[in-house]
């Protein structure tokens, strides 16, 4: 299991059937939902605000998740909220944003404070979602800053569900290997 660290009296809450690789670091006010997974070398730092990750969501290798604190520059701060069945690709940076159900955030993408990805959004590799930007669901978004490229095809819509479910299956295998090795 991941390195879990308390901060400021808050301890990460990991669902019993979730999985986080032993090289992942999860700090402070972080909740990881049912059947979700966090892969090698990820950092989830809920030290100055909360990180909530829903069910059946995967955070892939090398991703960094952080938040913004309450200040006169950002009243109320910016928590990081990731809903259900979301795929966060390798080396993604998510900072104080909201990713709604059945989204895919492509490899190396960056999503900044108070940005929102509406349900069924596909964000391309390397894209940048600027602070406060709202991406409409059902579309592929590309570039820096991210711009709506085109509607998702039926196959891409199916892929959003497939990839999330595949990571649920894959992480269950890793959990089983870890449990088997402990006996």
pLDDT digits (tens, 9 = 90+) for 83-114: 999 999 999 999 999 999 999 999 999 999 99
pLDDT higher than 80, residue 181: no
Average pLDDT rounded to a whole number, residues 32-53 = 98
Other Cβ atoms closer than 10 A to 108: 17
Give the SS3 label for residue 172: helix
Return d(Cα 20, Cα 118) in angstroms, integer.
26
- R_g of the chain computed on alpha carbons: 16
The CATH number assigned to the domain holding 72 equals: 2.160.10.10
Q: In terms of DSSP bridges, do strands 37-38 and 3-5 run parallel, antiparallel, or are they unpaired?
A: unpaired
Give the SS3 label for residue 163: helix
pTM value is 0.95
In angstroms, the Cα distances linking 74 to 69, 70, 89, 132 are: 7, 6, 28, 12
Tokens of 149: 């490229």
Domain count, the chain: 1
Give the residue numbers spanning the domain of 142. 3-181
- Give strand pairing partners of 142: 147
């Amino acid at each position: 299991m991941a390195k879990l660290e308390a901060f400021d009296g808050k301890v990460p809450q990991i669902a019993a059937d979730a999985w986080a690789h032993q090289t992942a670091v999860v700090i402070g006010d972080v909740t990881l939902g049912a059947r979700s997974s966090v892969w090698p070398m990820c950092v989830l730092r809920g030290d100055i605000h909360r990180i909530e990750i829903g069910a059946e969501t995967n955070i892939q290798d090398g991703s960094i998740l952080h938040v913004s604190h309450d200040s006169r520059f950002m009243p109320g701060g910016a928590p990081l909220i990731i809903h259900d069945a979301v795929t966060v690709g390798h080396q993604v940076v998510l900072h104080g944003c909201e990713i709604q159900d059945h989204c895919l955030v492509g490899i190396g993408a960056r999503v900044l404070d108070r940005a929102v990805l509406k349900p069924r959004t596909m964000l391309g590799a390397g894209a940048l979602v600027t602070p406060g930007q709202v991406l409409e669901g059902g579309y592929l978004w590309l570039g820096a800053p991210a711009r709506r490229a085109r509607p998702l095809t039926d196959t891409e819509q199916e892929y959003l569900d497939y990839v999330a479910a595949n990571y649920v299956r894959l992480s269950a295998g890793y959990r089983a290997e870890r449990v088997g090795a402990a006996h």
